[in-house]
Structures are given as C-alpha cells and as structure tokens.
Structure 1
Amino acid sequence: MTLPALAWQLLTRLAAPLLPWHLARRARRGKEIPARLEERRGGGAQRPEGRLFWLHAASVGEALSALPVLEALLARDPALHLLVTTGTVTGAESLARRLPQAFTAPGPDGLPRIAHRFLPLDVPAFVARFLDGWRPDAGALVESELWPNLLRAARARNLPMALVNARVSPRSFARWRRLPRTVAELLGGFRLVLARSEADRARLLQLGASSAQCWGDLKAAAPPLPADPAALERLRGLLGDRPVFLAASTHPGEETLALAAHALLAPAWPELLTVLVPRHPDRGAAVAEQAAKLGLTVARRSAGGAPGDEVSVYVADTLGELGLFYRLAGVALVGGSLVPHGGQNPLEAARLGCPILLGPHTFNFEEPVARLLAAGGARLVAAEAGALAEQVEAMLSDAARRHAMAAAAAQVAEGQASLPGMVAAALLDLIDGERAQGDCPGG
C-alpha cells in the first residue's frame, strides 16, 4: 500500500465517528434521504439468490448512460440480478423514473431484478459491510469513481471489477500524475478498463491502466431523453409560435450571461421566451430571483408557474424534464461550457434535433464536440452576453440554418447503437472468469 493510500485509510477511520453528523446535515439540505442513511454505512443488504452484478454510477449523467447496459445485461441473462448504486439522490431519482417496469418487477424469488442502494462512504468498515452483505459476483464503476478503500476491499475479496466509460479530464490527469504509484495501484485493480474516448484512453495508459481500451462513449449510445406527452402538448399550446431560447443544465454564472443576452434581444424580439434549466434544481429560487431583479417577468416550474404570454423567463427547476425543453427550443445553449466546468452532454440536444450552442469550455466531451462542430451540428460562442445574443438571434432568424444544424447534429448522435450490448457481454464475462482482451470488436 502506498503512503497516500495508507494516509487516506487512516483519515477515513478517524473521521468515521463524525460521519453521522455529516450525513444528518446533508439530509437536512436534501442531499440524503433520512430513512436510507444506513446505506451510507454499508447497511441495507438484501442479496437475492443466484448471480448478482453490481454497477455504480455516481449521479444523473452516469446513471442515464448506464441504463442501456443494464437493460442489455438483464436481456442476455434472464437469471441475473443487478445491484445499482449511486452517490447522489438525483441519480437515484433518475433511475427510478427511467428503469423499465418489466425490469423492476419482482423475479421468481420475490425480489426485484434491479435493486438500488446508495454507495457507502469510503470508510473501511462501511465498504466491508457493504461488500460482505451483498457478495456481488462482479462489479463495474462508471466513468471516474475511484474510491481507494472500496477498490482495495474489492481486490482483497477477489471481486472482478471493470471501469466503464472511463474518463480522465486534463485537470484530473494533472492532479493524478502527482501520485503515480497510488493511481497505478487503483487502476491495476480493474480487470477491464473501457475508456470513453481515445484521449481518455491515452491518459489512462499513462496513469497505469495498461490494458485500457476504447470501444466508444456510452453517452453517444443513450436513448433520447424522455418527455411526458401531455406536458409537451400543454406547453406547445401555451407557447404557440413564440421563439424559445433554452439555456440547459446551467451552472452558476451562466444564468447571468443568458439573462443579459435576453435583455439585449428583447427590444427586437419582444415575444422571446428564455428557458433556464439549472443543472441543480435546488438553485431554482436563486435563479428566478436573479431574473426578477433585472425587471424580467419570471415563472418557476417547480412552483406551478407556466410560461404564459406575460412571462419572459421560465425557470424549469424540476428534475428529469430536460427532454421536454429540448423539444420546445429553437436554439439551446448546453451549459457547463460558458464557465470552466467542462460542459454537459451535447448529444442529448443533438438526439432531439435541437440546434446547439457551446461555450469555450467543453473538455468533458472533447470527441463528440469535435464531431458536432465538424459536421456543422453545433456552433461555438464566446462567454460574453453580446456574443451569446448575436448567436441566438442568428439561429432564431434563419429557419433553414436551424434545420440544417439539427439534421447534422442528429446524424452525429446516431452512432454506436451496438455499444451497450458489447459492454454488457464483456461485463458478464467477468462473472464467468473471462478477461476481455484485444481491441474494440468490429474495429
């Protein structure tokens, strides 16, 4: 064990007595479910009979990208049970809404084929309780969840593990390179490492994942975001022919730019509706207050507000409805890109035929952004209100350009439909004791 890993183990053991207070505080803020805090200490195990595969997805994006893999796993092995863990309440809620009812219905043993639990905190005693209670036959982590105590405990139990859709941002790569032995030890515990892009694979190889492969990005293979048909019909009736500018999955600072852009556009576009969808819905009240201080008429969806004729800014501060607003927008700014967050997933907009604007910070999605830009399915915009207003006006003023961009973006998003099945087959091989070898099947 390396010195940093040993220090982390000691620190987490010392911190364990304080964690009930920490969890209670998170529960008061809505970050935890009070009745399920025991899961954070590794409790709540209810292992079904037979083969059990464990998959962990940190939050909403990772959970949704894993859904097609979960479906493929269950379809390939009718006797298989799945344990899915998430690190956030929003991730759990997204899974609850999107898991097909056929898969959550009880199996022959009376237990659901898919069980959800929250991932235990990375304390040695907690992760031991979790792993010993569930006894999965194999497991997979999605994207970049490298918890040292958890991975060490899995390795000690000879639990076959995979890292799928693995990503390493340039910032994380620079940080991890300061601890080369520790990171190499963590990555060495995975029997299968599937990077989401060639750039991520190259960084993983340098960090010590010697067998890292790139089969593609699961987020490029995800189904379109859903939308409630009745809600969509109602909103279309309310909006009529109004032009709609959507700022989707926004982070602090981006709403300021979107609202300033709206103010610049309003004289020439008095009917313009700007829809703000904050990445974290609990920021909805603050976003609405910001719009009101600018003298804009604002309504909040979570408070029952609707985008009537008098409303110029609509704050869609609900969870799981982004697909609704991508279907309504004439142009969408994909958030996380005007600030140095690295961008949210632009393929969600592309699948729904929405013209896309992206800020300068898109390092979380380097390859899909490059493909979208090359195909003409997205346009870059500077992190300035004037530049944003100019691009929004250009899109709203030219229907032919919007349609061409939407068609190009949809074509980029169509690929890799077979990827979830390929990943599911490789994960089932872990249970059977087979280790994936070689390059991507089919190329």
Structure 2
Amino acid sequence: MSERWARALLRGYRLAGAAAYPFVGGYVTWRSSRGKEDRARRRERYGVASRERPSGPLIWAHAASVGETIAVIPLIESILSYGVNIVLTTGTVTSAQVVQDRLGDRVIHQYVPLDLKPAISKFLDHWRPDLAIIAESEIWPMTLLELGARRVPQVLVNGRLSDRSFKSWKKRPFVAEALFENLAHVVAQSDVDGERFHTLGARPVSVSGNLKVDTNPPPVDEKALDTLRKQIGTRPTWAAISTHEGEEDIAAEVHAMVRNRRKGLLTIIVPRHPERGDALEAMITGKGLTVARRSRRDRIDADTDILMGDTIGEMGLYLRLTEIAFVGRSMTGQGGQNPLEPAMLDTAVLSGRNVQNFRESYQRLIDSGGAKIVRDREMLAGAVNFLLANDAARYAMIAAGSATVQDMRGALARTLKALEPFIQPLIVQARLNGSGRR
C-alpha cells in the first residue's frame, strides 16, 4: 500500500465517520441499556461538553479504562501540582468512577468522544486543548488526525503495542506512518514497545518503564477488610483475579481438587466483568459449591466455598485477604492482566502462559522468583496446594515480587522529564495569566 493510498484510506475513514454520525445514537443507547454507558451523560460521547472550559492553558489527558486510568493518576497529580487545568477522558463507566474516587473535582472528567469527525470536532472546538496526553495504546485515527490538523502536540505515554496490534500495523505501514507522524513524542513502556513504535514511524521515541509500577497499591475499606478477615478466620485462602470466561470454571474445579488436602479452603474469584455474577453463581453452585457474593454482602460461613468478588473498585480488599493470586486472562483468554498490583500487596503470583500484553512485567517477576507460569488447571491446583503447604516457598515468592516491583520503579520521573518541554510553556503561561487551576 503506497502513501497516497494510505492517505486516501484515511480520508475515506473520515467521510464514513461523518456519514455514520447521525445514526450512532441507537448504538450508544443500546450500550446504556446494558450498563456500558452513563445514560445521563451519553451526549459527551457525541463530543457535547457538559462542563465549561476553564480559562488559561488546558491539557487533554485520555485513559481508556480502569487499568490505564489508575496508571496515569500519579502523572496527572504531578501535572496538577503545577497549576495547569486538565480535562480527563475515559471510555468506561468503571473508569469514570475511579476518576471520581481518586481525583474528585481536581480534574474535569468527560467521556471520550466517539472517533468520528463531528464528535471529535465538537470536543476540540469546546475544550481547545494546548496538549494531548494519551495513555498506552489508544490509537484512534480521527482523533490523531484532527489534533494534528490543529497542531496540538500529542504525546503517547506508557505506550505499548501488543503482538497482534504490531502485526496488524505492519501490514499497513503507510497508514501507520500517516498516523504516528502526528505524535510529538512516544514514551514507551519497554525497549520492545519502543522499537515497535519506531518501526511504525513514530519519532521521537523514549522508554520510561511501566507507569503502573509507580502507582500506589489499590486502596481498601479497612472496616470491610476487618469484617471479612473475622469471618474467614484462619481458613487457608487463594484468589483467582481478573478472570475471563472459562477461568472461573477452572478456579472452581481447582477449589474442588485442593480442598480435599487443605481443610477449610476458601477460594476468592474476582471476575473481570462483575456483571457476569449471576451466570457465574449458577455455574459454581451447579458444581455443588456454596457461593457468597460480595455484591450482596453475603456472610462468609464455615461452609462457604467461594467468595465471589463481583464488585468494582475493591481489588485492594480481595488481594489483602490472601497471599496467593492467579491472574486471569492468561489461561483461556489472551494477553494477560497486570501482575504488579498483587505483587505490590505481598501476594505470590500465578498465571497462565498467555501474557503477551504484560510480557516484560511477567519476565521480571518470573526471573526473580516472584511469579510462576502454570500450564493448565492441574498445574494450577498443584501450585496452589504447594504454596499453601509450604510457608517458606510462599514467603520467598512474596518477597521476590515485592523487591522486583521496587526495582522497576522510576517510570513516573522519566515520563515527566519527557513531558517537560511540552508542559513547561503551559506552566509559564498559566502563571503569567493568573489562570492556573482552580
């Protein structure tokens, strides 16, 4: 595909998006009916602002979902300390709740507009950002092109490209270059990610490490933690967290296999998508197991087999109830989930083999002894049983994971240094105009 055809394809994408814009209302309404959109704020998805733009310089920061949002919060807090206003967009209801809980009214939160020219244009006409900071892998063609046309600097932070995404972009090198040339700087998570962005045409590229390492451990409601600990008592526990379809079934079967050896075993299952709670409860009880659901505030009794963590924003609670955690989307799913949170919270990490999206983090943890890869449910059951029975081995994994996380820190400072040429003029402007954040 030539450069001319690539640009023609992007023009076609722009026109198709403009043509589709009048008809997207039904799609957003359908998502609202399933709890995937905030019904009261769905106009924000069309680029219609629900807040006034503050005076002075303003940065648009975007993080797609919960993981990306948590990763950039320390970065956003650092920028806020300079007195510059930020409008932070996210794409999910759960990530919006994280913003409210962690940042409150210190930022202006909006749902990210759909990647259609009319929506993006409305958003940009209203907010007129002086800088755009995009987290991880949110490459939306129309957004990049419209920001580029307005000469708004765009910086991708904590950037990563999965194996699948990189392979897809490599098939369309001229399209990739036409998009990535709009990025003023890419701050990549790893050397591999940095090389991939460079190959696809991004300039300049630097490597910071993973911002997720520089976040604080997930918070916890101490009262709720104390209540659950009293109910659990001295029972042995392990957790399967961020599980995807099929992995809850595996966790339930592992529980049945291990409880014969570990009397009183309690298994904590935290599905990635809590709305699947009813179906999962039916599946688990169908195996003859007793379930207590956190969403119902069920009491954990002596005969409770499974605590289902079907709530949002309580990962810090579930991880503090155990010292062993299997991290999902890695056995039946693809790509893996972030292993750093359990490592931060003194937990031995187990995972399936499909961890491409977190390759470097897992490699560091595996090399240090802080994480182990398991092949299937039998191997997972064996690992859980072994770690429950061997305190020394479990404590060694926990210590190794904690030390590895500590060694990986520093991404926040390196990212702020990369952003300094873009942010410093805005700080000066805010101070001269007396229009800093308020």
1:75-115: CA deviation from partner (whole Å, max 9, x where unpaired): 2x1x311110001111111121222xxxx4xxxxxxx4410
**d(CA) in 1 for partners of 2:288, 2:11:** 55
- Structure 2: 5+ residue stretches without partners: 1-5, 427-438
Q: Shift in Å at residue 307 of structure 1?
A: 2.1
User: What percentage of residue pairs aligned between the two structures are identical?
Assistant: 39
CA contact (8 A) 2:187 2:418 kept: no
Of the candidates 356, 360, 377, which is equivalent to residue 353 of structure 2? Answer: 360
Say which SS state the counterpart of residue 190 (structure 1) adopts. Answer: coil
User: Aligned residue for 1:388?
Assistant: 380
CA contact (8 A) 2:185 2:203 kept: no
Q: TM-score, normalised by structure 1?
A: 0.92
User: Aligned residue for 1:316?
Assistant: 309
**d(CA) in 1 for partners of 2:88, 2:303:** 44
User: Aligned residue for 2:328?
Assistant: 335
Of the candidates 254, 262, 267, which is equivalent to residue 255 of structure 2? Answer: 262
User: Aligned residue for 1:25?
Assistant: 30
User: Aligned residue for 1:81?
Assistant: 85
Of the candidates 205, 208, 227, which is equivalent to residue 198 of structure 2? Answer: 205
Q: TM-score, normalised by structure 2?
A: 0.93
Matches within 5 A, 1:391-430: 391-430=383-422
Letter in 1 for 2:322: A
Of the candidates 36, 40, 62, which is equivalent to residue 35 of structure 1? Answer: 40
User: Aligned residue for 1:371?
Assistant: 364
- The yes-or-no answer on 1:55 pairing with 2:47 is no
Of the candidates 79, 96, 99, which is equivalent to residue 95 of structure 1? Answer: 99
1:326-346: CA deviation from partner (whole Å, max 9, x where unpaired): 111131101111124211110
1:40-71: CA deviation from partner (whole Å, max 9, x where unpaired): 01111411011211100000000000011011
**d(CA) in 2 for partners of 1:135, 1:197:** 32
Say which SS state the counterpart of residue 270 (structure 1) adopts. Answer: coil
Say which SS state the counterpart of residue 195 (structure 2) adopts. Answer: helix
User: Aligned residue for 2:293?
Assistant: 300
User: Aligned residue for 1:438?
Assistant: none
User: Aligned residue for 1:282?
Assistant: 275
User: Aligned residue for 2:436?
Assistant: none
Say which SS state the counterpart of residue 414 (structure 1) adopts. Answer: helix
| Corresponding residue pairs, total | 420
Letter in 1 for 2:57: R
**d(CA) in 2 for partners of 1:217, 1:274:** 30
CA contact (8 A) 1:72 1:421 kept: no
CA contact (8 A) 1:343 1:362 kept: yes
Of the candidates 114, 138, 142, which is equivalent to residue 135 of structure 2? Answer: 142
CA contact (8 A) 2:185 2:202 kept: no
Matches within 5 A, 1:110-189: 112-189=105-182
CA contact (8 A) 1:43 1:129 kept: yes
Letter in 1 for 2:26: W
**d(CA) in 2 for partners of 1:357, 1:419:** 25
Letter in 2 for 1:71: E
Q: Shift in Å at residue 406 of structure 1?
A: 0.3
CA contact (8 A) 1:161 1:430 kept: no
User: Aligned residue for 2:431?
Assistant: none
**d(CA) in 2 for partners of 1:94, 1:249:** 17
Q: Shift in Å at residue 196 of structure 1?
A: 0.5
Say which SS state the counterpart of residue 231 (structure 1) adopts. Answer: helix
Of the candidates 223, 227, 230, which is equivalent to residue 230 of structure 1? Answer: 223
**d(CA) in 1 for partners of 2:156, 2:305:** 45
User: Aligned residue for 2:433?
Assistant: none
